[in-house]
Amino acid sequence: MLQERWRQAAVQGQEFSSEYRVVTPTRDIRWVSGHAVVMNAENGKTAGYIGTVEDITERRATELALEQSESTNNAFIRAIPDPMYIVNREGIILDARSAKENELLDNTGNIVGKSVLDLILQSSTSPQSLVSSTRDLISRALDTGEVQSLEYQIDIQGEQRRREARYVANGDDEVLIITRDITERVKAQESLAESEELPLSRPSQGWATGSRFSRPQYSLSSRH
């Protein structure tokens, strides 16, 4: 295959360029990048070739490790059922996906390129404070490199659901937002809190009660 590419380049008078493996005298396998061009004599006939060969073994190893890392990360992402958004610092959605239907802020199929802040604001039950918090957490995730989180309430097809959003920096100007439905967890916590409020008889101190979990501060509706 390599020899055939070299022959075709020579016949057509074109530059030859290829990356390939070689075996050294010590039986080591190295990756090299070879480049060559035809040298013509005064009569126009081929007089020879001039070229270079560069050892690119370390570069290839780095590229392979990066490909494997990206493949692993993509596998993790595909395994996550929660809605996910990639946004830039301004909140423009660069990508979005969800394993479940009707869980994105906009389920029309044209969400890429829209502003996640505008989609939140367009929801009739969404307060401006949620938009401000989202904008601040996107900036904070990029500026600090630390994971940010926010709990809020969302209306999905008339049902109130509790969500947790996590904001993770993805490079210098992108943030991955993962939203998770925590409704059942919150209900379990509230049931536990209520059970802890059962009265205990303490003659000298009266009744002992526990505390309740606070109500969500924000409400968000999804568009369908």
pLDDT in tens, 20-73: 888 989 988 999 998 888 787 777 777 778 888 899 999 989 888 888 877 776
Please check whether residue 162 lies inside any domain of the structure: yes
Please check whether residues 21 and 117 belong to one and the same domain: no
What CATH number did the domain enclosing 157 receive? 3.30.450.20
Please check whether residues 88 and 176 belong to one and the same domain: yes
Which amino acid belongs to residue 95? D
Please check whether residues 99 and 39 belong to one and the same domain: no
Tokens 């290829």 sit on residue: 18
For residue 19, give the nearest of 8, 30, 28, 10 by alpha carbon: 30
Please check whether residues 86 and 59 belong to one and the same domain: no
CA angle in degrees (0–180, nearest 5) for 154-158-159:
60
What CATH number did the domain enclosing 40 receive? 2.10.70.100
Domain count of the chain? 2
Please check whether residue 196 lies inside any domain of the structure: no
Written as six digits, the tokens of 33 are 């990048």
Please check whether residue 176 lies inside any domain of the structure: yes
Please check whether residue 71 lies inside any domain of the structure: no
Please check whether residues 146 and 40 belong to one and the same domain: no
Please check whether residues 43 and 83 belong to one and the same domain: no
Please check whether residues 44 and 85 belong to one and the same domain: no
Please check whether residues 172 and 126 belong to one and the same domain: yes
Q: How much is the pTM? A: 0.55
Buried b (16+ CB within 10 A) or exposed e, 49-71: eeeeeeeeeeebeeeeeeeeeee
Written as six digits, the tokens of 219 are 């409400």
Q: DSSP alpha helices (H): ranges in the chain?
A: 2-12, 57-79, 116-122, 128-144, 183-195
Please check whether residues 57 and 99 belong to one and the same domain: no
Strand partners, 73: none
Give me the pLDDT at residue 125, please: 58
Mean pLDDT computed over every residue of the chain: 78
At residue 79 the predicted structure's pLDDT band, cuts being 50, 70 and 90, is low
Average of per-residue pLDDT across 158-169: 85
Tokens 């690119």 sit on residue: 56
User: CA 27 to CA 179: how far, in whole Å?
Assistant: 52
| Residues 6+ positions from 11 with CB-CB distance below 8 Å | none
User: CA 206 to CA 92: how far, in whole Å?
Assistant: 56
Please check whether residues 20 and 85 belong to one and the same domain: no
Domain boundaries, position 25: 2-63
Please check whether residues 115 and 217 belong to one and the same domain: yes
Tokens 């949620």 sit on residue: 130
Q: What are phi and psi of 178, to 5 degrees?
A: -115, 125
Please check whether residues 23 and 89 belong to one and the same domain: no
Strands laid side by side in the 29-40 sheet = 16-23, 29-40, 46-55
Domain-ending residue, one of 63, 96, 112: 63
Tokens 């390129």 sit on residue: 113
Choice between 198 and 146, residue whose per-residue pLDDT is larger: 146
